[in-house]
Each structure stands twice: as structure tokens, then as C-alpha cells.
Structure 1
């Protein structure tokens, strides 16, 4: 019970952290999104190197890398690195361009995207409640497209990239610190090349406060991910499913009340469809979970 309590608290803190992270990126809205992404790679690597040094885990880390290379699973790590870079970059861009509300929408529909991916990649059966939830989410996206005159590509990219990232992570069993370290190692060379040859503003031309925030970007990337790993290992699926909605809910509240983004009637309609879909999906998930547990007891 004590272990589960720690897991639930870790999950809540990680999702609250992710939920308010939009405020952090908003402070850097004047810095180009690609620059922030590149600095995020660099300083995530620095922070994770410090973590591995403190844990004295370098030997185990290199052993894991050698094993991945030998089994050719390193290809999946490279692909995972690309997907998480797309997710991070898209989110930073959206917050910096007044689209934090749409970003929260992406994280709301993410569990429903997981169902679609499970159907396509793992041939898992689609339940009636899952089908209805996905249909309602699709109606919400179509309504958004009709009202704005354009498909919410950034929202869909955000959700799709992270869902596919999750699929790949299932193929590679690594501790969170090793996984994040390896993914940043893959991405850092691209970040360094960009910062050396393509950025328009040098690092030290920013104010001390901005430099401090850019350095801190590595910490705010790693800490919630490490906390989430603790939760994922100790908390059951249903509980974790409920906790995960803290993230987009916090993002939405931050977008409306702190970043002062408009939440006009057509957005209410879009979110109403999404929320109804989530409610149906959650009820269906709980029902299925109870049935499984009941059969186990029998």
C-alpha cells in the first residue's frame, strides 16, 4: 500500500509538472522553437549525465547500449528519439504561438489514439465503448476543422508522435534514466549542428534570465519523466488512466486563465465531444477491468 501511495503521488506530481510546463515555455516564447528544442536536447543530456554519475550507473548504461546495438534494437531507439523530438518541438511551438488550448486537446485525445494504434499495430479488438469514444473524438476534430477552416495538424501531430513513441517504448525495456539518456545522445548532434550553423541568435546574447531558463529546460524535461516511471511501475492501469487527465486539464486551465487564450463557443463544442468520448472510454475501461479482476477471483 505504501509503495502504491508513492506511485500515485509520483504520477500526480509528474502530470501536474507537465500540466503547468506551458507557463515555462511561454517565458521563452521570444526564442525560436527550434532553438529551444536544440537547447533542451543539450541540457537534458547534461542533466542526465549528472544523474547517471550520481547513481554510478555508467557501466550498466554502456552495457545496455551494447546489448541494443548487438540486437539491432538501437534502430527503435533512434526512431523513438525522432518522435519525442517532434512531440517536444510541436508543443513548444504551439505554446509560443498562442495554441496552448489546442495542445491540451492533443493530450486529451491521446488515450483514444492509443486505442487506434493498438488496433492497427497489435490487432487488439475494438470494443463498442472504444469505437463510440473514437467516433466522438473524430466528430470533435471535424467540427474544429469546419469552424477554423483548417485541420488541426499541430494537435494531431502532437498526439500521434507521442502515441507512436509509446508503441516503440514497449519494444525496448530500459530504465527511464537510460532511455532518456540514450534518446538525448541521438538527438544532441542535430541540436549542436543547428546551434552552430543555423540559429540566428547566439546563446550568450540572451539575458542572464533567459540563459538560466534554457539551462533549466534540461531539468524540466527529465524530472517529470523520471517521476512518471515510478508511477508506471507501481500503479495499476485504471488508476494511472484517471491520473493522466490531470495533464491536459492543467494545460487547458493554464492556457485560458494564465496565457489568456480565447475559449470561444466552437472550442466548447469541440471539447464537449472530446470530454464525452473520454467519459465513455473511461467507463468502458473500468467495466472491462472489473470483469478481468472478477474472472481472476473466480
Structure 2
């Protein structure tokens, strides 16, 4: 294995391109559904965002610890450790990635609790556009004509929203920029590995424990059970999401990510968010982009043996 640079995907997955693509699509969509359910739980449970974030990190770390008891888990950690120890600066990169993940996990809990669900959904709408551009400009990945059309329509929709409001929410911008940087660093450093997220979570445990002890938690047994359930679902969702990022090129991975903000938008409405006068036009335009993406994906899938 090379000691520097991204690990060739062929070394991690001995699968046909069609199999890799199909598995990546299923993983991405499953993650989106789970994230939508977690977002809803965060908005209805009577616990602070910080306490919910803390429990999610603790549950996730425990799940990854259990995974180390399996042969596959130990093999994944051994691969991660070889890459991490290949350069002296790799642990510093891991710490930076852990901080970015922590910010995103906290923001995901904070937004629905404080009424910023729509702004969070906008951030996740901006993220696929950023990932498509990163994949094309930095990693020279191919983008189909249909994908470019979908991106163009989405850019028009987001541009119209910014024009109508005159500004862009810091929540939306934070989600978009930090996640785009995270995935870029993760892939460029060669840390695009199954065990990486577990290691990032472990580094966040001290902060998580402080939040659980200091910040207000759920006041009922049912609420506490919902917090734990959200933590378990978050582990499955993030594993599936990062798995899709390994199996798919950044352009397709980014465009499939549109499923999540659509679900987050629906959840935000269920939690009591109110649309502005121009929002139906903006989100309707984004729906057109999703249709273009779906048609393009169907045509490309038919050409795969």
C-alpha cells in the first residue's frame, strides 16, 4: 500500500463498477432516511441539543468498540492504523477532521431544537453542489451532462433564495462549507476508511461526557429512550453515509445527497417551520433538479452490465 496519498479504491473494494454503484446508492438513500428520523427526534425530545449530541457520540463510540470484537472490525482498524501512522502529521489531520465532524453533529442537533430546521435543510441543499464542484475541480472526476443540468438548476434555485433574502444563513453556510472541507481532506489524506469515523468519535468523547453531565437532558424515561435511539440510528446513518462516499464518485455522491435535505425540509415543516412567500418557487425548482438527476441516474444504470 502506498504510504502517501489516497488509497486506491480497488484495494478496498474488489467489486464490479455496477455493484459498487448500486451499493453506494442504497447506502446513501438509507442514510438520508435515518437522518430525517433523527432530525425529527431531536426537535421533539425535551433535552438540550448539547446533551443529545453528547449521547449520540457516546453511543456511536460504544458501537464502534463492539465492532472491534469482529474480524472485519479488527482488519478495518489495522488498515486505518497503518495509514494513520504512515506520516507524522496524519494524527493532526485526524484531530482536525474530528473537530469538523463534531461541529456538524452538534449543528444537526442544535438546528431543530432552536427553530433553524429550514436553514439546516438549505445547508444540505448547498452541500451537493459544493461536492460536485470539488469532485470535478480537485479530483478530476467525470460529471455527466444530466448531472451538470441538475447542478445548474439547483444553483439557480439557491441563487434565487439568496437574492430574495439578501443574505445566507450562517447555519446553512456552516454546514455546506465545513462538510465540503471535511470530505475533501478525508479523501485527499487517504483517511477515507471505514474505521475513520469511529476514531473521530472517540476523540470527541471528553466533550460529549461534559455535555451529558452539565447540560439539561431528557426529563422522562421515554425521552431518554428516544435520545439513545437517535444515537443508535445516527451510528447506522453515518456509517452508511460514509460508506456511500467511498463507493461513489464525489459528483454522484453529492447529487444523491439531495434526498437528505428534502427529508429535512419535510421534517422542519412538521416541527412548525413556516415558508416565506418565495420558498415554494425555490424548493419547486430544486424538485425539478431532483427529477433531472433521477432520470439521468436511471439512464446511466441501464448502461451498466
TM-score band, normalised by the shorter chain? 0.7 to 0.9
Contact 1:38–1:195 under 8 Å retained in 2: yes
Is 2:163 the partner of 1:143?
Answer: yes
Query: Does residue 1:222 correspond to 2:245, yes or no?
Result: no
Q: Does 1:262 align with 2:274?
A: yes
Partner of 1:250: 263
Equivalent of 1:193 in 203, 210, 219: 210
Q: 1:207 to 1:233 in 2, by over 3 A?
A: same
Residues 18 and 247, structure 1, Cα contact 8 Å, conserved in 2: yes
Offset, 1:33: 1.5
CA distance in structure 2 between the partners assigned to 1:152 and 1:25 by the alignment: 20
**Could you say which residue in structure 1 is the equivalent of 2:4?**
none
Whether the aligned pair in 2 keeps the contact of 1:98 and 1:261 (CA below 8 Å) is yes
What is the CA-CA distance between 1:132 and the residue it aligns to?
A: 5.6
Number of equivalent positions: 282
Q: Provide the rounded CA distance (Å) in 1 between the counterparts of 2:138 and 2:24.
A: 29
Q: Distance in 2 between matches of 1:190 and 1:83?
A: 14
Pair 1:46–1:173, CA change in 2 (3 A): same
1:67-93 superposed Cα distances (whole Å, 9 cap, x missing partner):
514512111111111111111111211
Cα shift readout 1:31-52 (whole Å, capped 9, x = no counterpart): 2212222222111111211222
Are the equivalent residues in 2 in contact too, given 1:12–1:243 (CA < 8 A)? yes
- Structure 2 CA distance, aligned partners of 1:131 and 1:223? 28
TM-score, normalised relative to structure 1: 0.75
Give the equivalent residue in structure 2 for 1:23. 40
**Would you say 1:48 and 2:64 are equivalent positions?**
yes
Does structure 2 retain, via aligned residues, the 8 Å contact 1:48–1:181?
Answer: yes
CA distance, structure 1, for counterparts of residue 179 and residue 49 of structure 2 = 18
**RMSD of aligned residue pairs (Cα, Å):** 4.0
- Whether the 8 Å CA contact 2:42–2:109 is kept in 1: the answer is yes
Does the residue aligned with 1:47 lie in a helix, a strand or coil?
A: helix
Long gaps (5+) in structure 1 = 294-298
Q: Match of 1:265, SS?
A: coil
TM-score when normalising by structure 2 = 0.74
